[in-house]
Amino acid sequence: MTLHPERLTAPLHWRQPSYIFVNSMSDLFHSGKVPYTFVDEVFDVIRRCPQHTFQILTKRPSRMLRYPGPWPANAWAGVSVESQRYAWRIDVLRKVPAAVRFLSIEPLIGPIADLNLHDIHWVIVGGESGPGHRPIDPCWVRTIRDQCIAQKVPFFFKQWGGLTPKWGGRLLDGRTWDEMPACGSPSSLEVPNLQIAAVTA
């Protein structure tokens, strides 16, 4: 893991309010690789940029929960849930004191029939893309969508996936699903990425 503190101040110079995805290529809460002191620096920038919304996604919700915070109102906390096997991460996320808690069910590689969305504010679903991608079953997607509707949680379907991210398009049952949390807006599908840490071989 290589940290890039020199990139931290970039959002301070972005005038247009944006959703900013923090670290798409790594994990801000990587155990033993990203110290909490660095997370403190990230959160300091977030507080200084109230015009932006920062989306922080992790596969390590227990370490995210242990972070002493506090969480700025414009920092959203999310966990990856690729299949039912990883649904336990949702229970940990529920305890994170973020204003918005979201699930990134992407890539969806298996069914999730039992999805407890209590205190979850947003669900994103998408298929895998790239050479050797694993196919997504439309029934899996519909099951998650229907659970979101039943539990009144905004549902965002990002892509079917395929050889490229846009290979299969975004239509589900004849329409796009661009629902967002009440404090969000689907003004752009393109989310800037603030890559402040990267995994290196």
**Cα-Cα-Cα-Cα dihedral sign, residues 24, 91, 117, 134:** positive
Do residues 76 and 101 touch, judged by C-beta distance below 8 A? yes
Query: pLDDT value at position 187?
Result: 42
pLDDT averaged over every residue in the chain: 90
- Provide the pLDDT confidence category of residue 94 given band limits of 50, 70 and 90: very high
- Provide the pLDDT confidence category of residue 2 given band limits of 50, 70 and 90: confident
Mean pLDDT of 5-12: 91
Nearest alpha-carbon partner for 58 in 42, 78, 84, 88? 78
- Provide the pLDDT confidence category of residue 185 given band limits of 50, 70 and 90: low
Query: What global pTM score does this model have?
Result: 0.90
Residue 37 reports pLDDT greater than 50: yes
Residue ranges per structural domain of the chain: 2-198
Mean pLDDT of 42-50: 96
Q: What is the CATH code for 2-198?
A: 3.20.20
Mean pLDDT of 19-33: 88
